[in-house]
Amino acid sequence: AQSVAQPEDQVNVAEGNPLTVKCTYSVSGNPYLFWYVQYPNRGLQFLLKYITGDNLVKGSYGFEAEFNKSQTSFHLKKPSALVSDSALYFCAVRADGGYNKLIFGAGTRLAVHP
């Protein structure tokens, strides 16, 4: 069965500092991995995805994520956090083939302090 774990309910970062939001996954076969961001009372916005190829994926708003197969992780990173990055972040996984369901982690609330 597919599953996603986001071990941190909340991450606090000072503006300008690097941030990391952790995600580990479990899936049969090759994973399709995604990060989404959600602002209050809004739907999900796509940040980036890993399907195949380079393990370091660059996405929107300066975010990037590194796929680590041996550790089954797909941590989200940004070199310099902005206050406007404060939001709820979801990691999601889908088993390869693409027709399978997208399974979401519980979400991590990122709070960037001025």
Nearer residue to other proteins within complex by CB, 58 or 101:
101
CB of residue 75 vs other proteins: minimum separation in angstroms? 18
Report the distance separating Cα 76 and Cα 23, nearest Å. Answer: 8
Interface map 10-49 toward other proteins (x if CB under 8 A):
----------------------x-x-x----xxxxxx--x
User: Distance between CA 34 and CA 23 in Å, rounded?
Assistant: 10
The helix/strand/coil state of 49 is strand
CA torsion sign, 97 to 102 to 105 to 111? positive
Cα gap 4→85, rounded to integer Å:
22
Shortest Cβ 65–other proteins spacing (Å): 16
The residue assigned the tokens 């001025």 is 114
CB of 108 to other proteins, least distance (A): 10
Interacting positions 58-87 with other proteins (CB under 8 A): none
Residues that bind other proteins (CB under 8 A): 32, 34, 36, 41-46, 49, 51, 90, 97-99, 101-107
